[in-house]
Amino acid sequence: MDAWAQDQGVDKEPLIKMMGDPTSTLTMALGMELMHAGPQGKGLINRSKRFAIYAEDGVVKALQVSEGPGPKGEEDPAGDDFPEATLAPNMLAEIKKLKSLSKDEM
């Protein structure tokens, strides 16, 4: 994870902490294991779905998962070909929506 952070230029960024999940503990706890036969058939066991979480003080406020069919029905169980739901522009839009809600609506 350190090498990936360095490659991406975020190794000195205090707001970003890159963490791995080599034993799939978090993946399983969040219910985000990719159970599709395609990736599993290639040996990708216990792989995590592509997801993004926005949390405040340990409370999940927004969760986006990129999985399922693409825009034209293409198979994309891991969200690798169509990750838009989990990318920064969409997550920032989701956070902005949350910030516009009153506390009672949250």
52 forms beta bridges with: 64
**pLDDT tens-digit readout, 5-17:** 999 999 998 888 8
Q: What is the DSSP letter of 55?
A: E
Phi (first) and psi of residue 86, to 5 degrees: -105, 0
Question: Which domain, by its residues, includes 64?
Answer: 2-100
- Does residue 106 belong to any structural domain of this protein? no
Give the pLDDT of residue 104: 57
Total domains in the fold of the chain: 1
d(Cα 81, Cα 94) in Å, to the nearest integer?
21
**Which has the closest alpha carbon to 55: 12, 17, 10, 25?**
17
- Does residue 19 belong to any structural domain of this protein? yes
- Does residue 93 belong to any structural domain of this protein? yes
- Does residue 105 belong to any structural domain of this protein? no
**pLDDT tens-digit readout, 23-70:** 989 999 999 988 877 766 666 677 888 899 998 888 999 999 998 788
- Does residue 59 belong to any structural domain of this protein? yes
Q: For residue 15, what are the CA distances in angstroms to 11, 12, 59?
A: 10, 9, 17
